[in-house]
């Protein structure tokens, strides 16, 4: 039988199994020392100790907490790139605020420029979410940070694709007012479901809103440190549990080596992709200020090619593909919010994009095969 080349595969071994078993045997399953240790590891390994993380149940939870902590409310506007996952829009809408789409720089650089952000800024703009798409740091982030500061706009980095990525040697997630990480199954660091929100000085507030707004935790009470608690603000239950935190610790230990494997696959793609197929990774690799972490392999098909046909042809060859992301204006829940006319680059990318397999269990030969089949499919 021919090998399936999947878009993504989980990569765990005995180390994760042992770590999970240890937590289960300990009898303490949430809100404890393993979560604290996971947070320390995120700080050290992903944030270079330049911001502090609070581990949570997902990146969506992290984004929601960042917006709540920034006091985003009904009628406020939050800038979000058109090229992103729907949770960036949903968290804004959940607070009664309005997500405002901004475009990305070009067909070869898929994050917003300062001009893209400025173009959609109004008096109502209270926050701006930037996405380090595909693991590539947003090139204009320092300029955008300066602009946001001058307008009192909160800057949130969505680091779901980019744990450990750097720009000018500074870690993604430690540049804006908040960083939000995803440890969902298919991410570079996987705990099944999970995430983290980072900040320079909001750790205590974020910890409280993560857990109902309570001023003490179950662990504090079990250790006899306190008997009761106050509820100092309205919070939610966005805690991660100790089992996932244990998985996360083992995954972080492996991240450097795993990223090297990802880089090998990426380089193989760049050497072998058909010349008329574009990818944002090319410009990113050429830019020495950026250290990207190669989360996914998005490409733009040549003009006039029917995407569905390519997807089908690759599927017949046991090569799975996907897309990042469907158009926000195509979602029925957003039909009154968005129109495509204002974001021409994102619109074209969304129309022509497919994502090829990229994960740590595939080989360079697999990537070569994908390129050969892609060439045949588009010729």
- Which residue of 84, 125, 188, 190 would you call a contact of ligand PLP, by CB under 6 A? 84
Measured in whole angstroms, the distance separating CA 167 from the mean position of its chain's CA atoms is 16
- Which residue of 87, 111, 292, 346 would you call a contact of ligand PLP, by CB under 6 A? 87
Which are the contacts of 321, defined by CB distance < 8 A and separation ≥ 6? 7, 310, 311, 314, 315, 354, 355, 356, 357
Question: Minimal distance in Å, beta carbon 222 to ligand PLP?
Answer: 29
Q: Note whether 89 binds ligand PLP by CB under 6 A.
A: no
Identity of the residue, 91 or 371, whose beta carbon is nearer to ligand PLP in the bound complex: 91
Question: Minimal distance in Å, beta carbon 376 to ligand PLP?
Answer: 30
Q: Note whether 55 binds ligand PLP by CB under 6 A.
A: no
Which are the contacts of 275, defined by CB distance < 8 A and separation ≥ 6? none
Rounded to 10 degrees, the C-alpha dihedral 335/69/198/21 comes to: -90
Are 372 and 21 a contacting pair, CB within 8 Å? no
Identity of the residue, 191 or 268, whose beta carbon is nearer to ligand PLP in the bound complex: 191
- Which residue of 8, 38, 85, 110 would you call a contact of ligand PLP, by CB under 6 A? 85
What residues between 103 and 142 interact with ligand PLP by CB under 6 A?
131
Residue among 127, 95, 8 at smallest CA distance from 366: 8
**Per-residue tokens: 108:** 């070869």
- Which residue of 69, 72, 78, 160 would you call a contact of ligand PLP, by CB under 6 A? 160
Question: Minimal distance in Å, beta carbon 84 to ligand PLP?
Answer: 5
Question: Minimal distance in Å, beta carbon 129 to ligand PLP?
Answer: 9
Identity of the residue, 161 or 258, whose beta carbon is nearer to ligand PLP in the bound complex: 161
Identity of the residue, 94 or 267, whose beta carbon is nearer to ligand PLP in the bound complex: 94
Identity of the residue, 62 or 290, whose beta carbon is nearer to ligand PLP in the bound complex: 62
Ramachandran area for residue 203 (φ above 0: left; ψ -120 to 50: alpha; else beta):
alpha
Q: Note whether 79 binds ligand PLP by CB under 6 A.
A: no
What residues between 177 and 216 interact with ligand PLP by CB under 6 A?
182, 184, 195
Q: Say how far apart CA 374 and CA 378 lie, in whole Å.
A: 6
Q: Say how far apart CA 89 and CA 94 lie, in whole Å.
A: 9
- Residues touching ligand PLP: how many (CB under 6 A)? 14
Q: Note whether 158 binds ligand PLP by CB under 6 A.
A: yes
Identity of the residue, 32 or 195, whose beta carbon is nearer to ligand PLP in the bound complex: 195
Question: Minimal distance in Å, beta carbon 185 to ligand PLP?
Answer: 9
Q: Note whether 99 binds ligand PLP by CB under 6 A.
A: no
Q: Say how far apart CA 318 and CA 322 lie, in whole Å.
A: 13
Residue among 32, 96, 16 at smallest CA distance from 64: 96
Q: Are strands 166-167 and 195-199 parallel, antiparallel or unpaired?
A: unpaired
Q: Are strands 125-131 and 154-158 parallel, antiparallel or unpaired?
A: parallel
Identity of the residue, 87 or 321, whose beta carbon is nearer to ligand PLP in the bound complex: 87
Question: Minimal distance in Å, beta carbon 87 to ligand PLP?
Answer: 4
Q: Say how far apart CA 233 and CA 209 lie, in whole Å.
A: 7
Measured in whole angstroms, the distance separating CA 301 from the mean position of its chain's CA atoms is 24
Q: Say how far apart CA 252 and CA 246 lie, in whole Å.
A: 10
Q: Say how far apart CA 289 and CA 293 lie, in whole Å.
A: 13
The span of 58-66, 266-274, 297-305, 342-350 binding ligand PLP (CB under 6 A) equals 58-66
Question: In the complex, which residues of this chain contact ligand PLP (CB under 6 A)?
Answer: 58-60, 84-85, 87-88, 131, 158, 160-161, 182, 184, 195
């Amino acid at each position: 039988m021919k090998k399936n080349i999947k878009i993504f595969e989980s990569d765990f071994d005995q180390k994760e199994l042992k770590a999970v078993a240890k937590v289960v045997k300990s009898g303490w399953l949430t809100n404890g020392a393993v979560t604290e240790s996971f947070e320390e590891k995120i700080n050290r390994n992903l944030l270079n100790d330049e911001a502090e993380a609070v581990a949570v149940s997902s990146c969506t939870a992290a984004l929601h907490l960042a917006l709540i902590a920034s006091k985003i409310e009904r009628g406020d506007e939050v800038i979000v790139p058109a090229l992103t996952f729907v949770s960036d829009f949903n968290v804004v809408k959940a607070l009664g605020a309005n997500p405002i789409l901004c475009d990305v720089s070009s067909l070869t650089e898929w994050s917003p420029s300062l001009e893209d952000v400025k173009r959609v800024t109004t008096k109502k703009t209270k926050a701006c979410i930037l996405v380090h798409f595909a693991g590539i740091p947003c090139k204009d982030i320092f300029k955008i940070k300066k602009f946001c500061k001058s307008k009192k706009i909160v800057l949130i980095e969505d680091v779901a694709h980019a744990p450990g990525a750097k720009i000018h040697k500074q870690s993604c997630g430690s540049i804006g007012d908040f960083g939000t990480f995803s440890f969902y199954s298919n991410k570079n660091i996987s705990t099944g479901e999970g995430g983290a929100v980072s900040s320079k000085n909001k750790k205590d507030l974020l910890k409280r809103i993560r857990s109902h707004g309570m001023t003490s935790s179950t662990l504090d009470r079990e250790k006899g440190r306190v008997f009761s608690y106050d509820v100092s603000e309205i919070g939610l239950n966005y805690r991660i549990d100790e089992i996932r935190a244990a998985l996360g610790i083992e995954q972080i230990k492996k991240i450097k080596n795993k990223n090297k494997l990802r880089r090998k696959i990426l380089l193989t793609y760049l050497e072998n992709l058909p010349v008329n197929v574009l990818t944002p990774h090319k410009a990113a690799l050429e830019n020495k200020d950026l250290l990207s972490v190669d989360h996914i392999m998005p490409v733009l098909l040549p003009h006039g090619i029917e995407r569905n046909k390519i997807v089908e042809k690759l599927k017949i060859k046991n090569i799975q593909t996907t897309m990042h992301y469907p158009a926000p204006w195509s979602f029925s829940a957003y039909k009154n919010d968005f129109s495509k006319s204002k974001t021409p680059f994102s619109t074209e990318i969304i129309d022509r994009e497919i994502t090829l397999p990229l994960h740590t269990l595939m080989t360079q030969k697999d990537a070569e095969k994908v390129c050969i089949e892609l060439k045949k499919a588009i010729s």
